[in-house]
Amino acid sequence: MATGQIILTRKLRYAIFLVLTINEGGEEQVRETLEGLSGRLRTVSSRNPDAALAAVAGIGSAAWDRLFAGPRPKLLRPFTELKGDVHTAPATPGDLLLHIKSDEMDMCYEVGQILTNDFGDAVSTVEEIHGFRYFDLRDLTGFVDGTENPTGDEALEAILVDGEDPGFRGGSYVTIQRYVTDFDSWTSLSVGEQEDVFGRSKAENIEMDDDVKPSNAHIALNVIEDADGNELEIVRDNMPYGQISGSGDKGTFFIAYSKDPDITGQMLEKMFLGDPIGNYDRLLDFTTAVTGNEYFAPSVDFLDELPPAPTRPAPPAPATPPRTSPSDGSLGIGSLRRDT
């Protein structure tokens, strides 16, 4: 049975999120680095086993066909921009995702540095975000984040691809977005107004009753159900990030794992387009999505023994220049050149 990458952990204190694009001709180096990921993690983990180091590698839709021949995860697709009447969830570049987490930032940093050195010039870094846990699992708005995550076997059921796509059993789909929060606007609200935005009490983290919860509250628009009314779940591992001073961004790095990316997609549609249309997530008036990507995180077995690389078309034969009459009595061999 395929072994999944270590996605489900306790709430670790730190994370680094690296979003990369693959440079032309860098595919083989990327493959070698992905195959070496497990070994790199074991080496660094041995230096501080109590730090609970973990890392997840995700591969984007366009990058998949550049790296691997044969079948691909059947639900892997590019992130689709969602443009509502007021707010937009943009789609931004990203071929690879590295989600590195630990109780110690030095462990995250070491793995990130080793892997970027391994990738070398084969990739370009689009974004590097350093996240941290904030008090009792709150984000920078002061509200607890990830309250509705499933646990135990329910969490495994929510995130791992099963027999419906047997070639990729044990993998998981990943959606990421980085949100920038307008804290001047947010802190201008009273605590009661902030609670209406979330649909929860701020201090106690208690969900409002349905008869008083605003229809555009954040948690009201994050519930997805199947045709039978059963709630469909994802696992979020969001992290706050940001600078204390200056003009640097601060907010939340959203990351969701699921066995079906359509569940996360439907949630985002409700948030940005509204349910019904126009009744969008009130939280978006205070925090703006600036990135958006989707990936597939394959099993450890897949990464340890990658499928063959795609067959590249043979390069065209060098063009033969027209024959000329040499003026020096030679056969004209010196006039030939080889195109590469």
Question: Residue 330's pLDDT is what?
Answer: 37
Do the beta carbons of residue 177 and residue 254 sit within 8 Å? Answer: yes
Residue spans of the domains in the chain: they are 14-188+231-312
Residue by residue, pLDDT tens for the chain (340 residues) are 455 689 999 999 999 999 999 999 999 999 999 999 999 999 999 999 999 999 999 999 999 999 999 999 999 999 999 999 999 999 999 999 999 999 999 999 999 999 999 999 999 999 999 999 999 999 999 999 988 899 999 999 999 999 889 999 999 999 999 999 999 999 999 999 999 999 999 999 999 999 999 999 999 999 999 888 899 999 999 999 999 887 789 999 999 999 999 999 999 999 999 999 999 999 999 999 999 999 999 999 999 999 999 987 555 555 545 544 444 433 333 333 333 3
Question: Residue 246's pLDDT is what?
Answer: 77
Question: Residue 338's pLDDT is what?
Answer: 36
Question: Residue 326's pLDDT is what?
Answer: 41
Looking at 95, 139, 145, 196, which residue is catalytic? 145
Question: Residue 328's pLDDT is what?
Answer: 41
Residues 135, 209, 157: CA angle, nearest 5 degrees: 65
pTM of the entire predicted model: 0.90
Question: Residue 340's pLDDT is what?
Answer: 35
What is the CA 194 to chain-centroid distance, rounded?
28
182: annotated active-site residue: no
Give 87's contacts (C-beta < 8 A, 6+ positions apart): 272, 280, 281, 284, 285, 288, 289
Count of alpha carbons within 13 Å of 128, Cβ hemisphere only?
7
